[in-house]
């Protein structure tokens, strides 16, 4: 008997699988993803999985007519392969985190009557998860009160690092491992002013933008620690007193678990504008700040830095429930009985 874990494409999806599988060490785990996106980068060498399968699949959305047809053919082929995998490994349950990587196996679960557990990371449901929600045995979302588990699956280290911030001594700019040009630009516009205030700068510029952004700081005569992909993100968040970040679900909940006050600048082209709604979830509770990418005002950002951080930092400590990954893992274990 096995648990099949599927989905990915982006780090936000894959981080869920990584957090949950840490509590399933004694189970037979199978991973099914795509050759596109970051799936192989995350899990190709991961020995927690007995077997890993990567299909030639891609998204259907934002494709032309011929592109959609080709994507659907890829999906159909991968779906039939997924049915074989379910039978080969005698799967008890499929755990899907969404994204185009999840589509073949999620549909295969429905066709074979295999129990399907879906985790939705965002406030606005992804198109695949919305389609499959009625067929899921359990549908988990931190934004839905009817969810069987409201806790978001976050690694324990982010909770361990939680502390109240009253003053900004260190700022972190987070554009994700691929970077965010709007956040990179804002950081360089603020750099001199931040240095004049004695505020240390940490900056995740993106793998392909590290050299460019590093030179930008150097030309301004400003010291900053610039990096692209990192395995030390929790440590960097711990060092910071304020974050300016995209509003992908994993980033948002990790920052919240760390009790790190944040200004969110959502990626404007995210499906269903889900990053905006993710950030709004916190803004409505007066626990974060939000700016649209086309309406960034540097002076307003500096005004935010002058505000008291303590109230929001304390509030964040109570908004994120611990043990989300443990609870999801236990639910999956229970379904194998």
DSSP codes joined into one string, 193-254: HHHHTT-EEEEE--TTTHHHHHHHHHHHT---EEESS-S-HHHHHHH-SEEEE---HHHHHH
Whether 11 and 39 have beta carbons less than 8 Å apart is answered as no
Phi and psi, residue 269, nearest 5°: -105, 15
Whether 207 and 179 have beta carbons less than 8 Å apart is answered as yes
Of 314, 298, 309, the residue nearest 242 (C-alpha): 309
Beta carbons within 8 Å of 92's beta carbon, 6+ residues apart: 1, 2, 3, 114, 115, 335, 336
**Do the domains at 2-154+322-334 and 157-316 have one common CATH topology?**
yes
15-50 tens-digit pLDDT: 899 989 999 999 999 999 999 888 998 999 999 999
Identify the residue with better confidence: 337 or 248. 248
Of 19, 11, 21, the residue nearest 42 (C-alpha): 11
How high does pLDDT run on average in the chain? 92
Percent above pLDDT 90 for the chain: 74
Asked if pLDDT for residue 68 goes beyond 80, the answer is no
Where are the domains positioned within the chain? 2-154+322-334, 157-316
Whether 237 and 161 have beta carbons less than 8 Å apart is answered as yes
Domain 2-154+322-334 adopts which CATH fold? Rossmann fold (3.40.50)
Asked if pLDDT for residue 62 goes beyond 70, the answer is no
67-71, 247-251, 255-259: which has the minimum mean pLDDT? Answer: 67-71
CATH number, span 157-316 = 3.40.50.2000
> In the prediction, which pLDDT does 132 show?
92
> In the prediction, which pLDDT does 69 show?
85
Of 253, 232, 246, the residue nearest 16 (C-alpha): 253
Q: How far apart are CA 133 and CA 120, in angstroms?
A: 10
Asked if pLDDT for residue 216 goes beyond 70, the answer is yes
Cα 126 from chain centroid? 13
């Amino acid at each position: 008997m096995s648990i099949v874990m599927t989905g990915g494409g982006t780090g936000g999806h894959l981080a869920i699988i990584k957090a949950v599988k840490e509590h399933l060490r004694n189970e037979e785990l199978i991973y099914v993803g795509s050759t596109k996106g970051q799936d192989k980068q995350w899990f190709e060498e991961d020995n927690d999985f007995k077997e890993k399968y990567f299909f030639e699949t891609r998204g259907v959305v934002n494709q032309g007519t011929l592109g959609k047809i080709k994507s659907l053919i890829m999906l159909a082929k991968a779906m039939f392969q997924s049915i074989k995998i379910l039978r080969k490994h005698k799967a008890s349950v499929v755990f899907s985190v969404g994204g185009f990587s999840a589509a073949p196996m999620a549909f295969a679960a429905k066709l074979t009557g295999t129990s399907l557990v879906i985790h939705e990371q965002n406030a606005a449901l992804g198109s695949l998860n919305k389609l499959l929600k009625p067929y899921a045995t359990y549908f988990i979302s931190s934004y839905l009160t009817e969810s069987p588990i409201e806790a978001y699956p976050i690694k324990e280290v982010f909770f361990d690092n939680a502390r109240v911030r009253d003053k900004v001594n260190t700022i972190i700019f987070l554009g994700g491992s691929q970077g965010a040009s709007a956040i990179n630009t804002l950081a360089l516009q603020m750099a001199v002013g931040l240095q004049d205030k004695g505020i240390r700068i940490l900056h995740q510029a993106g793998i392909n933008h590290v050299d460019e952004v590093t030179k930008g700081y150097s030309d301004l005569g400003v010291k900053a620690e610039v990096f692209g992909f990192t395995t030390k993100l929790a440590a960097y968040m711990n060092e910071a007193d304020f974050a300016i970040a995209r509003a992908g679900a994993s980033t948002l909940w990790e920052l919240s678990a760390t009790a790190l006050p944040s200004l969110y600048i959502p990626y404007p082209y995210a499906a269903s504008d889900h990053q905006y709604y993710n950030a709004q979830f916190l803004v409505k509770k007066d626990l974060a700040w939000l700016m649209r990418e086309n309406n960034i005002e540097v002076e307003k950002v500096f005004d935010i830095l002058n505000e008291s951080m303590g109230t929001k930092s304390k509030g964040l400590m109570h908004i994120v429930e611990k043990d989300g990954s443990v609870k999801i893992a236990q639910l999956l274990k229970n379904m194998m009985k």
